[in-house]
């Protein structure tokens, strides 16, 4: 309604004097008590402000509903939520061939680069690494096995052993044998299968000795992953744009360690962390 009346006032101001516009003019002037050209201009400005205020209310209403929907979707299905944030405007025009992929990584990994072994920061890391405690391969107890499998979902898709977690939980007689097997593996008394991982042990070691920054820990409890950081960046940029704030940001591109320092440099960093 406000837009319609504003448009009519603009037409009247342009000098449109048709019979229909004269009737509209009389109606608007009576409604807003317009007596002269100054009142006409003030009425048009008031209508503009009302339109702007109403548009702002509608926009805020839509944003609040969108945030509620996003929070609900995030709690119900995170994969679907992240999918909804993707920019579908980008399309892969051509899928790289196997030969091109192999050639790309061959060019990187077949050309070793030497790092500066006399760099000053390496000496500082050497000093800090002396404080790192050596990891101990203690015996894994039955209680630790029970605590670990208690967090597993009962009917989640099993691994290559084809055992459902439900049976691992409630076949309690097997817990002592699992504890024995795990103890032998971490102590190096039994061969480690390729599918087996000790990632939690390495993660705890890095956390206890403050070796790895929380920004580098990926999607673990208490840490943020790549998508979480992208969401934070997106929220910051949108807030700065909407609120017309001055914003200064910088991104550091961390390449994979093997593509920069190659094996010798990466191996030295593992020695610093006392990882075995």
Predicted confidence (pLDDT) per residue in 41-61, tens digit: 888 888 888 888 888 889 899
Q: The tokens of 89 are what?
A: 């405007």
Percent of the chain with pLDDT over 90: 1
CA atoms of 231 and 82, how far apart (whole Å):
9
Is residue 100 predicted with pLDDT exceeding 60?
Answer: yes
pLDDT of 198 reads: 44
Residue scoring higher pLDDT (88 or 80): 80
pLDDT at 261 over 70: no
On average, the pLDDT of the chain sits at: 76
Q: Which residues contact 183 (CB under 8 A, 6 or more apart)?
A: 139, 140
What band does 134 get if pLDDT is binned at 50, 70 and 90?
A: low
Mean pLDDT confidence for 66-78: 85
In this prediction, residues 200-214 reach a mean pLDDT of 63
Give the pair of three-digit tokens for residue 82: 């992240």
Range in 159-163, 239-243, 258-262 with the lowest mean pLDDT: 258-262
Question: Where would I find the beta strands (DSSP E) of the chain?
Answer: none
**Distances in whole angstroms, Cα of residue 187 to Cα of each of 138, 200, 272:** 8, 16, 21
Position with higher pLDDT, 203 vs 111? 111
Question: Taking the CB of residue 205, how many other CB atoms lie within 10 A of it?
Answer: 21
Q: Is the predicted pLDDT of residue 175 greater than 60, yes or no?
A: yes
Is the pLDDT at 124 greater than 50? The verdict is: yes
Judge whether residue 258 has pLDDT over 60.
Answer: no
**What pLDDT score does 187 carry?**
78
Whether 137 contacts 186, CB under 8 Å? yes
Least confident of 25-29, 77-81, 221-225, 249-253: 221-225
Q: Give the pLDDT confidence score for residue 220 in this predicted structure.
A: 55
* Alpha-carbon torsion angle 264, 269, 271, 275, nearest 10: -120
Distance of CA 223 to the CA centre of its chain: 11
Check residue 95 and give left, alpha or beta (phi > 0: left; psi -120 to 50: alpha).
Answer: beta
Region 65-92: mean pLDDT is 78
Is a pLDDT exceeding 70 seen at residue 224? no
Among 2-16, 51-65, 128-142, top mean pLDDT goes to 51-65
Rounded Cα distance, 232 and 13, in Å: 49
The pLDDT, as a whole number, for residue 231 is: 75
pLDDT at 95 over 80: yes
Predicted TM-score (pTM) of this structure: 0.34
CA-to-CA dists, residue 206 to 131, 135, 139, 165, angstroms: 12, 10, 20, 28
Per-residue pLDDT, averaged over 244-263, amounts to 64
Q: Tell me the C-alpha to C-alpha distance, in Å, between residue 274 and each of 134, 192, 199.
A: 6, 20, 15
What band does 252 get if pLDDT is binned at 50, 70 and 90?
A: low
Which residues have a Cβ under 8 Å from the Cβ of 153 and sit 6 or more positions away? 165
Q: What is the mean pLDDT of residues 220-231?
A: 63
């Amino acid at each position: 309604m406000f837009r319609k009346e504003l448009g009519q006032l603009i037409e009247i101001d342009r000098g449109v004097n048709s019979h229909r516009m004269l009737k509209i003019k009389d109606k608007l002037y009576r409604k807003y008590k317009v007596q002269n050209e100054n009142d006409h201009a003030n009425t048009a400005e008031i209508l503009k402000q009302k339109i702007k205020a109403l548009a702002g209310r509608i926009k805020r209403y839509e944003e609040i509903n969108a945030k509620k929907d996003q929070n609900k979707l995030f709690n119900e299905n995170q994969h679907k939520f992240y999918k909804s944030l993707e920019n579908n405007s980008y399309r892969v025009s051509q899928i790289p061939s196997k030969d091109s992929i192999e050639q790309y990584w061959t060019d990187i990994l077949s050309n070793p680069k030497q790092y500066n072994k006399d760099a000053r920061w390496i000496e500082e890391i050497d000093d800090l690494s002396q404080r790192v405690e050596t990891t101990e391969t203690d015996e894994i107890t039955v209680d630790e096995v029970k605590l670990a499998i208690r967090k597993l979902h009962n009917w989640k898709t099993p691994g290559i052993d084809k055992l459902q977690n439900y049976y691992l939980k409630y076949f309690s007689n097997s817990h002592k044998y699992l504890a024995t097997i795990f103890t032998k593996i971490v102590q190096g008394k039994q061969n480690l299968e390729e599918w087996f991982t000790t990632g939690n042990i390495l993660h705890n070691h890095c956390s206890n000795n403050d070796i790895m920054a929380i920004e580098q820990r990926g999607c673990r409890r208490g840490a943020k992953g790549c998508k979480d950081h992208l969401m934070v960046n997106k929220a910051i940029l949108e807030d700065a744009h909407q609120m017309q704030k001055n914003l200064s940001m910088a991104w550091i591109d961390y390449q994979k360690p093997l593509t920069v320092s190659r094996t010798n440099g990466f191996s030295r960093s593992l020695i610093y962390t006392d990882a075995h």
